[in-house]
Amino acid sequence: MSNKRLYRSSTNYMLAGVCGGIAEYFDIDPTLVRLAWVILSCIGAGTGIIAYIIASIIIPK
């Protein structure tokens, strides 16, 4: 069992480091995570923006 934890990225960030932290956690390209987040935000009538704000508050730095 690995001991990985989800944190906001302090090196790979654009706004609050949420997408960068998720990308580091899953070991994928942060651009893909950002692109997926934007697409889901457009489809979900802006709920992705609210989810990003909540994630930036909940996920530790």
pLDDT value of position 52: 86
5 confidence band (pLDDT: 50, 70, 90)? confident
Is this structure's pTM higher than 0.75? yes
Which token pair is 9? 């990225």
pLDDT mean over 7-15: 85
What would the pLDDT profile of 31-55 be if each residue is shown by its tens digit? 999 998 888 888 877 788 888 889 9
Q: Tell me how far apart the 2 most distant CA atoms of the chain are, in Å.
A: 38
pLDDT value of position 58: 94
Residue 45 is given by DSSP the state T
Kindly give the interhelix angle for 18-26 and 47-58, rounded to the nearest 10 degrees. 80
Residue 2 has pLDDT above 70, yes or no: no
Whether 13 contacts 20, CB under 8 Å: yes
